[in-house]
Amino acid sequence: MNAFSKPSLPVRRGLIGLAGIMALLLAWFFWIVLGPGPMSFAGGSRVTLANYHGVDPTGVPSELAHASLLKKGEYLTRAADCGACHTARGGVPFAGGLGFVLPFGTIYSANITPDKDTGIGTWSDASFLNALHKGIDDEGVHLYPAMPYASYTSMTDADALAIKAYLFSLKPIHAVVRDNTLVFPFNQRRLMGVWSVLFNSDKRFEPNATRSPQWNRGAYLAESLEHCSECHTPRTIFQSLNNRRKFAGATQAGWRAYNITSDANSGVGAWSDADLAKYLSSGNAAGHGSAGGPMGEAVDKSLSYLVPSDIAAIVTYLRSVPAISTSDLPAPKATPAPASYKEGVVADYDPRGKKVFEGACASCHGWTGVSPVTHYATLTGVRAVNDPTAINVAETVINGTDYMPAFGQGYSNDEIAAVANYVTARFGVSPSRITGKDVAALRKQASN
Amino acid sequence: MTSLRINGQIHEVDVPGDMPLLWVLRDVVGLTGTKFGCGIAQCGACTVHIDGKAVRSCFLPVGEIGNRAITTIEAVGETPTGAKVQKAWLDLEVVQCGYCQSGQIMSAVALLAATPNPDDSDIDAAMAGNICRCGTYVRIRAAIKKAAGAQQA
Amino acid sequence: MTVHITPKLPKALSRRTVLQTGAAAGGGLLLGFQSPFAAASIPNATDGAPAPVGPFAPDAFIRIDRAGHVTFIMPQAEMGQGVYTAHAMIIAEELDAAFETVSVEASPPSDALYGNPVFGIQATGNSNSVRAFWTKLRQAGASARAMLVQAAAAQWKVDPAGCTASNSEVLHTASGRKLAYGALADAAAKLTPPAKPVLKNPKDFKLIGKPLKRLDTPDKVNGKALYGIDMLPAGVKFATLAASPVFGGKVAHVDDSAAKTIPGVRQIVVLDDLVAVVGDHMWAAKTGLSALAITWDEGANAHVDSAQVWKDIKAASEHEGAIAKAVGDAKKALQEGDPFEAHYELPFLSHAPMEPINCTVSLRADGCDIWVGTQVAARTQAAVAKLTGLPLAKITVHNQLLGGGFGRRLDVDGIEKSVRIAQKVDGPIKVVWTREEDIQHDFYRPVYYDRITATLKDGRIDGWKHRITGSSVMARWFPLGFSHGIDGDGVDSAVDEPYEIPNMRVEFLRHEPPAVPTGFWRGVGPNNNVFAIESFIDELAKKAGKDPVDFRLAMLAKKTPRLASALKLAARKAGWGNPLSPRRGRGVAVQVSFASFIATIAEVEVDHDGNIRVHRITSAVDTGIAVNPDSIVAQLQGGLIFGTTAALYGEIIIDKGRVQQSNFNNYRMLRIDEAPEINVHLIKSGEAPGGIGETGTTAAPPALRNAIFAATGIPLRRLPFDREVLAGRKRV
Ligand code: FES
Ligand code: FES
């Protein structure tokens, strides 16, 4: 048989099968690549900013309309939360060096102070915009999407340059950032270029003409500056955002970023507008507990600086995101636990859980879960406590929050697992079964 | 001005609402029996009673107290349970440096008020939040039981 | 061969005590006495300023007023160890005073008048308050009694020999006449104290040996007791401070714009090495401090970390140290036998007394008042004199009750910082450290690295070499205690160990950790040595195939019979040898420390994940005459808890030149629900009293460690106990 003769039947069948699989794979691939955009859910008609006739949803709020460029830049820098990632633990703000521990290595954030050698002091406006919009640095090197440029891409040039102006007003800090420690193939920057082509829209913000100005402002803040999706929207196998499940929750730096869709049980649908606003601006709302981990940082470093109208805009926008019910997150239990430690917990819990709780936790959280000390410490109704994985409870115990000390150093993995299980069993809707091993893994994932 | 009901007396204090009761007691009202040990609700040295319940005053914002009754170590002996606990403490020589003991006694009195006849695990549940660096735990446990016995008698 | 003798701390006990009397202001008898030793040229570590050595200083040891009330001016600080009561008991005993008439006052600072006979300076530490003052106080009491008797006899014109004293009265036996001490005080004041007062025979003691109620406790249960932190002089302002988080760092820049807007914040004090915020109350000071943006110039120590500290000390320990003790021929014995070697590591520890460091200062142009609880009143005075340039006489130290000392209050850094802040502030100021500051700016129990090698012959130790590598706290704190390369405290309980060992060599190798300040910590040198030695002895027993108790007894019986009896008693009381369930074990440790003989047996349980539960600890102690037996039991109970905390949790870790622990969330304390059952058995003894405040602390870690060894077969060689090792996830 020569090489060009017709293949035999079985081979043909095989080839057809292969082609079928390829086609399916391709379809699946395009299904992901061509998935909806972050604001597609809203429908209506989108227009370019130039063609939008409502109040400009971008820029600074009206309170700062007449402020200097630096003041505006400062506000926007905070809104974009640049400091959270570009500051090492205990390090100088914006001097970079914070490590992001990923399964395939650690990425360190860049020094974005205007230092000419180690920072961005020599960057032109164009290279700054390139970095924010395209994920390419001044030397043409592709950034890892740990830098949320797929969100920042919708930021206006004016806002991005105001941020740059602010950053350039800071004291230059000479700080060499450590090299990333990624393994092959993740250390291949070029791949990031491919990723970018596929998953970064490289489009500036387009208001939705059918929605209110407030909604559009909220959309700009939430999608571009605050980049909420980066944590709260699950990702595809290619690490792009899966907007089909927008805001349905994901895991970030070891913490669960919860479902913030309008679903009444697993999302924030049952929260009042006032509670949402309070939580966003202060990291706390009675009955919903306190923000910890990355959300705590987002509040501390970014959201708490937003003016009330901007917070209200974000709330409006959040409210419009369609409800997605996630079965792993039941509606939080609203009733306090019994006043006596003797009641209220399933029989088969690890006795160390009670032991840790009575020593380190009960003083503040109370045996009922309603804090005798401050509503910041009330556990009843809190999402994390009603998360049957107990991941965020364990993370909170390990790392603490603004109000709560961190217990990670003083307590063993087993103890932390035991107390997390005790807390979910006592105060939550269903008890967790987290283990010391799980806690060890959580410790490793924390950024440092 | 915040109005506080401390040991049966009204005190008007001009302090921020988020100021923990501990410092109001110690530095403004001058009741220094309530101690500062950690400031993060981990040691119990600052324990007072709010409506008879043991609360860590180092974390309790005065603005959240309202009209509830505050009792400190200086006045807890005026209640029968408080007096019995203090007596048991002396009878068994619980105290060493004594710095933690205001808090220990306040926690113990609240325990006995709620659970007149506590067993060991009741004592653990109520007292584990109170650290004693001198290590008087063995006697604290014994004194609580003794006070409970005296209460029954 | 040469035998180097450990430098012993100067012993003043043998020196003659000078007694002086005088009339008290307002009448009555004053009996002062001072050791001539105190006048000797002991340099004050903080200052060379000489302590006042006058002829008769009216603030002396005992005052008896016309109402018969006895006031004892207490040289030692009360930090919970019960010394107020024990000293009062000793005086009342020899004085035959009714105990209810005796009260205690803290002494003013004076090395000369109130110097600790062991140190020669006024210091409370080393568990020696009772042993050091034992003879001195008895003599004082006996002298006063003799003078009162003499005064009564003179009044009655009878022979003093026909008179007795009891219950604060002198009785003329023949006539039955009685005179109360109060009525005799004025007359007694005119008499010369006897050259050689006759002390009671211990069998006639009426108070000593009885579990009397402590004098300092009633006010500690009702909130009235005042500690340094409770001082509120009129017009006082409150401050809290931040020193450089990196050891030795300096303030580079402070942005106080936000702090200044906080209501109640009055002043921000910036010194070269610290920043303090002064406010109307601690809350203002505290919130003000956290609102400051402080940039530190971290200096040379920003790279120091624990891993390096361990590497360095381990490397240092390869070298020979100064020979602190040599008996027989250790080298030969080790060469000839089959040597077994092990290394032990002890971490930095913070004191964390419940009362955080604080000091209240009223500094004026013409004088200074200091309110503080300190273990070193005279050193405090000298330090303040040096800082302020004021003469000693213008500095009044009001020593208060201590909310725990544990050695932390042997250093005056907190007082010095407060005075330096006070120099920038108008009016009195109370400086209170946050717990975080307290833990991160301590003088830490040093890291130690112990190497022990031994050989066995006929089931007993034949050769023994112990090299102790660690910081010399003495060299900094009390230079006389460090000589010829040997830290007298650092080798305590190692050079005088209780076992019969024919060939023995103990070395001390001073190795200072970079940047981390070290200090005395409850249990001091013996902490390290008892842990290393007693852990090692258990490993040797296993090697010898002997029961740990029998192995020890065989080598103790002749040399240290008091310890052997204690061990037998402890073993009996703890049910040594009775079967235990799997993963449970009993461990034993014995020690002669602070002149007390203690055997301790711990019973623990270790699960497969390495979690440890301490079930019970039994101690038997011969501490000589037990002045107040109940206090002794209490001290042991507390000390055992203190030591258990250290063994289970205690470790200060340094990273980037900073202490990583900060408060009780990460510097963990044993809590009541983890506290074991503790049984302490006192052995009756007629020997002079030993020390007790620190002994439990040194006893617990090796006993627990050996119990874990028994339960799991894993020979832990490092404190605190590593659960990962016990779970089999990490090697020893
Ligand atoms: S001071 Fe409040 S619990 Fe420690
Ligand atoms: S008695 Fe000293 S801390 Fe409890």
CA distance C325 to chain B (A): 34
CA distance C280 to chain A (A): 24
How do residues C380-390 score in pLDDT, each as one tens digit? 999 999 999 99
Q: How far is the CA of B132 from the centre of ligand 2 (A)?
A: 5
Same domain, B21 and B51: yes
What local confidence, expressed as pLDDT, does residue C107 receive?
Answer: 80
Average the pLDDT over each of B57-61, C47-51, C102-106, C724-728 and give the range with the smallest value: C47-51
- Quick check: is A346 in a domain? no
CB C284 within 8 A of CB C291: no
Instruction: Inspect the interface and report whether the beta carbons of A358 and B53 lie closer than 8 Å.
Output: no
Residue B114, ligand 2, Cβ within 6 A: no
Q: Which CATH class is domain C307-348+444-726?
A: alpha beta
- Amino acid (1-letter code) at residue C715: P
- Quick check: is A186 in a domain? yes
- Per-residue CA distances from C648 to A310, A362, C669, C718 (Å): 51, 22, 9, 11
How do residues C407-443 score in pLDDT, each as one tens digit? 999 999 999 999 999 999 999 999 999 999 999 999 9
Domain boundary among B33, B48, B75: B75
Residue B121 structural domain: 76-152
Interface of B with A (CB under 8 A): 40-42, 44, 50, 53, 55-56, 59-61, 64, 121, 124-125, 128-129
Same domain, B49 and B88: no
Same domain, A192 and A311: no
**Which of B23, B24, B27, B46 should be mutated for ligand 1, with most atoms under 8 A from CB?**
B46
The rounded distance, in Å, linking the Cα atoms of A220 and A207 is 8
- Give the position of tokens 């009129």: C234
Q: How far is the CA of C399 from the centre of ligand 2 (A)?
A: 18
Residue B98, ligand 2, Cβ within 6 A: yes
Question: Mutation test of the interface with chain C: which of A414, A435, A437, A448, choosing the one with the most C Cβ atoms within 10 A?
Answer: A414
Residue A383 structural domain: 351-446
Residues ≥6 apart with Cβ < 8 Å to A440: A413
Say whether residue B24 is in contact with chain C using an 8 A CB cutoff: yes
Say whether residue C432 is in contact with chain B using an 8 A CB cutoff: yes
Q: Is residue C30 pLDDT above 90, yes or no?
A: no
The rounded distance, in Å, linking the Cα atoms of C271 and C436 is 20
CA distance B34 to chain A (A): 16
Same domain, A312 and A428: no
Same domain, B81 and B148: yes
How do residues C114-134 score in pLDDT, each as one tens digit? 778 777 788 888 788 888 889
How do residues C526-545 score in pLDDT, each as one tens digit? 999 999 999 999 999 999 99
Q: Is residue C3 pLDDT above 60, yes or no?
A: no
Q: How far is the CA of B25 from the centre of ligand 1 (A)?
A: 13
Relative to the CA of B57, which ligand 1 atom is closest?
Answer: 2
C-beta neighbour count of A437 within 10 angstroms: 11
Q: Is residue C313 pLDDT above 60, yes or no?
A: yes
CATH number at residue A293: 1.10.760.10
Instruction: Inspect the interface and report whether the beta carbons of C222 and B139 lie closer than 8 Å.
Output: no
- Quick check: is A130 in a domain? yes
Same domain, A389 and A433: yes
How do residues C594-629 score in pLDDT, each as one tens digit? 999 999 999 999 999 899 999 999 999 999 999 999
Q: Which chain C residue shows the shortest CA-CA distance from A357?
A: C673
Relative to the CA of B35, which ligand 1 atom is closest?
Answer: 1
Instruction: Give the start-to-end residue ranges of the domains of chain C.
Output: 15-221, 228-299+357-432, 307-348+444-726
Confidence band, pLDDT 50/70/90 cuts, at residue C25: low
- Per-residue CA distances from C534 to B4, C499, C705 (Å): 56, 11, 9
Which residues in chain A are contacts of B50 at CB distance < 8 A?
A: 372
Same domain, A171 and A96: yes
CA distance A304 to chain B (A): 18
Same domain, B55 and B82: no
Q: Which of B92, B89, B63, B59 is nearest to B76 (CA)?
A: B89
Question: Mutation test of the interface with chain C: which of A412, A416, A422, A435, choosing the one with the most C Cβ atoms within 10 A?
Answer: A412
What local confidence, expressed as pLDDT, does residue C21 receive?
Answer: 58
- The pTM of the whole model exceeds 0.95: no
What local confidence, expressed as pLDDT, does residue A10 receive?
Answer: 73
CB A187 within 8 A of CB A130: no
Chain-centre distance of CA C148, in angstroms? 36
Backbone phi, psi, residue A236, to 5°? -85, 180
CA distance A83 to chain C (A): 16
Q: Is residue C13 pLDDT above 60, yes or no?
A: no
Instruction: Inspect the interface and report whether the beta carbons of A359 and C671 lie closer than 8 Å.
Output: yes
CB C71 within 8 A of CB C105: yes
What local confidence, expressed as pLDDT, does residue C32 receive?
Answer: 64
Instruction: Inspect the interface and report whether the beta carbons of B128 and A355 lie closer than 8 Å.
Output: yes
Please name the member of A90, A355, A410 whose beta carbon is closest to the beta carbon of C668. Answer: A410
Residue B101, ligand 2, Cβ within 6 A: yes
**Which of B73, B94, B101, B137 should be mutated for ligand 2, with most atoms under 8 A from CB?**
B101
**Which of B21, B43, B48 should be mutated for ligand 1, with most atoms under 8 A from CB?**
B43
Instruction: Inspect the interface and report whether the beta carbons of C671 and A414 lie closer than 8 Å.
Output: no
Domain boundary among B31, B52, B75: B75
What local confidence, expressed as pLDDT, does residue C191 receive?
Answer: 86
Please name the member of C286, C401, C630 whose beta carbon is closest to the beta carbon of B98. Answer: C401
Which residues in chain A are contacts of C610 at CB distance < 8 A?
A: 412
Q: Which residues of chain A are modeled with pLDDT < 70?
A: 1-7, 346-347, 446-448
Relative to the CA of B96, which ligand 2 atom is closest?
Answer: 1
In chain B, how many domains are there? 2
CB B98 within 8 A of CB C80: yes
The rounded distance, in Å, linking the Cα atoms of A396 and A404 is 8
Q: Which CATH class is domain C228-299+357-432?
A: alpha beta
| Paired sense of beta strands C237-243 and C429-432, if any | parallel
Q: Which residues of chain B are modeled with pLDDT < 50?
A: none
Same domain, A67 and A178: yes
How do residues C286-301 score in pLDDT, each as one tens digit? 999 999 999 999 999 9
Say whether residue B78 is in contact with chain C using an 8 A CB cutoff: no
CATH number at residue B109: 1.10.150.120
If contacts are CB pairs under 8 Å, which of residues 103-132 in chain C contact chain B? none
What local confidence, expressed as pLDDT, does residue C38 receive?
Answer: 33
Same domain, A394 and A370: yes
Which residues in chain C are contacts of A414 at CB distance < 8 A?
A: 609, 611, 723
Q: How far is the CA of C74 from the centre of ligand 2 (A)?
A: 21
Which residues in chain B are contacts of C672 at CB distance < 8 A?
A: 123-124, 127-128, 130, 132, 137, 140-141
Same domain, B70 and B83: no
The rounded distance, in Å, linking the Cα atoms of C581 and C324 is 43
Instruction: Inspect the interface and report whether the beta carbons of C665 and A355 lie closer than 8 Å.
Output: no
CA distance B22 to chain A (A): 12
In chain A, how many domains are there? 3
Please name the member of B39, B101, B133 whose beta carbon is closest to the beta carbon of C353. Answer: B133
Same domain, A262 and A190: no
Q: Is residue C1 pLDDT above 80, yes or no?
A: no
Residue B43, ligand 2, Cβ within 6 A: no
Q: Is residue C49 pLDDT above 60, yes or no?
A: no
Q: How far is the CA of B50 from the centre of ligand 1 (A)?
A: 15
Residue B56, ligand 1, Cβ within 6 A: yes
- Per-residue CA distances from A173 to A102, C572, C620 (Å): 27, 68, 62
Please name the member of B50, B64, B121 whose beta carbon is closest to the beta carbon of A374. Answer: B64
Confidence band, pLDDT 50/70/90 cuts, at residue C2: very low
- Amino acid (1-letter code) at residue C42: I
Residue B129, ligand 1, Cβ within 6 A: no
Same domain, A220 and A278: yes
- Exposure b/e, A234-269, CB count within 10 A at least 16 = b: bbbeeebbbbbbbbbbbebbbbbbbbbbbbebbbbb
Q: Which CATH class is domain C15-221?
A: alpha beta
CA distance B104 to chain A (A): 13
- Exposure b/e, A84-113, CB count within 10 A at least 16 = b: bbbbbeebbbbbbbbbbebeeeebbbbbbb
Please name the member of A355, A363, A372 whose beta carbon is closest to the beta carbon of B44. Answer: A363
Q: How far is the CA of A275 from the centre of ligand 2 (A)?
A: 43
Chains in contact with chain A (at least 3 beta-carbon pairs closer than 8 A): B, C
- Quick check: is A49 in a domain? no
ipTM for this model: 0.91
Mean pLDDT of chain C: 90
Q: Which of C496, C555, C689, C632 is nearest to C214 (CA)?
A: C632
Structure tokens at B94: 């619980």
Domain boundary among A155, A173, A199: A199
Instruction: Inspect the interface and report whether the beta carbons of A407 and C674 lie closer than 8 Å.
Output: no
Domain boundary among B75, B90, B121: B75
CATH number at residue B16: 3.10.20.30
